[in-house]
A and B are shown apart, each in its own frame.
Chain A
C-alpha cells in the first residue's frame, strides 16, 4: 500500500486540478453566453438578407452573375478550416481535422495530388494538426478567431470571393462546427462557392418593388454580402461551439477529479488506519515483552 505522504500529495494536486477545471468551466459558460448572443444579434440581418434574396431569385440566372453559380470541375479547391486557438475542448478540433482529412483523401484526392488544394486555417489548432500530417497550410487567416468582427470577417471573405471569381479556385468549401446548443456541435462542411442552386424556398412575396438601379446590380452587391454573412456566421458558430465543447469537457474533467478524489481519500484513510493499528499492536507487543 502506498504510504500516507504520497497519497496526501496526490490528493492535494488533484484538488487543485479540480479547481482549475471548475474555473475553466465557468469561464467557458460566460464566453458561451456572449458568443451565442452575437449569433442572435446577427440573425435579423441574415434573415433580411435572405428575404431580399428571395425577392430577386428570378434574376439570378443573368449572365453577369454566372461567375457565382456556374459549377466548374473542382480542380482547384480552397478549404476553409475553422478551429479554435486553444485546446482542452474535447474532440472539437480533432473532429474538424478528421473531416478535412476525409475530404482530402476522398473527394479531393486528385486535386491534392496535383497540388491544387489550398487549406486556409482559421484558428491555430487546426493549422498545427494539419501541418503535422504534412499538408501545406496557408496561414493568412489564422488570427481571425480572435475578436472576429463582422468587418474583418467580411474583408477576409471578400478576398476569397475575388480570388474565386478570378479563377484561382474552382470551389470553396468551409469545414466547421455548427452550434446547436451548449452540449451539441454539428460538424459540417458547406460549399460556399459556386453557390448551389438554392433549395431554400425563401418566400417570394409579390410586392411590386422598385429596383434601384436594377435587379442585377443589386444582386451583384447582395451575393457577396450574403456569402460574407455566411462565413461570418460560420465563425460565430464555431466560436460558440468551442466554448460549449470546452464547457462540457471541463465539466467532465471536474467530475472525474471528484471520483479520483473519493478513491484517493479512501486509500488514504485505509493507510492511516493500518498505520494506527500497526502502532498499537507494536506497543501491545512491547508491553507484553516487558511483562514477560
Chain B
C-alpha cells in the first residue's frame, strides 16, 4: 500500500509500506494491505512505517488518517 505522511510545511514520508502503526485515540492500531476505507483521529504518540527491510518512526502530537483503496494519508 502507498503511504503519505503530510504536514502543512512538508511531506515527511511518501512511499510503499507493508505495515503502518498509528496511535489512535482509542489505542494504537495497525493498517495493512487492503484495509477497509477508514477515517480516524490520532493522538500524540509515534507512527511506525514498516517496509520490507526498514522501519521509520515519526513522533506526532495529533493527527488524522484516511485510508482509501490501499492509499493511506496521514495528516499531522
Contact = CB atoms under 8 A, between A and B. Distances in A.
A229 to B, nearest CB: 6
A219 to B, nearest CB: 10
A210 B64 contact: no
Interface string B4-18: 101111110000000
Nearest to B63: A221
Interface in A211-232: 211-213, 217-218, 221-222, 225, 229, 232
B32 interface: no
A221 B41 CA distance: 8
A134 interface: no
Interface in B1-50: 4, 6-11, 24-26, 36-41
Contact of A218 (B4, B64, B73): B64
B62 interface: yes
B75 A49 contact: yes
Interface residues of B, number: 22
A46 B9 CA distance: 11
Contacts of A221: 41, 62, 64
B8 A213 contact: no
Dominant secondary structure at the A interface = helix
A52 B64 contact: yes
B9 A42 contact: yes
A45 B40 contact: no
Nearest to A218: B41
Interface residues of A, number: 30
A150 interface: yes
Contacts of B4: 44
A207 interface: yes
B64 A212 contact: no
Given A48-B75, A225-B64, A211 B9 contact: no
Contact of A210 (B7, B9, B37): B37
A133 interface: no
Given A41-B10, A48-B75, A49-B75, A217 B37 contact: no
Dominant secondary structure at the B interface = strand
A209 interface: yes
A149 interface: yes
Contacts of A42: 8-9
Given A44-B11, A207-B68, A217-B25, A212 B39 contact: yes
Interface in A131-158: 149-150, 154
A4 interface: no
A150 B12 CA distance: 14
A56 B64 CA distance: 13
Contacts of B73: 48
A208 interface: yes
B64 A41 contact: no
A150 B9 contact: yes
A45 B6 contact: yes
Given A41-B11, A48-B73, A222-B64, 4 more contacts: A41-B9, A45-B75, A209-B37, A221-B62
10 contacts: A44-B11, A45-B6, A52-B66, A154-B8, A205-B68, A210-B38, A211-B38, A212-B38, A213-B40, A222-B64
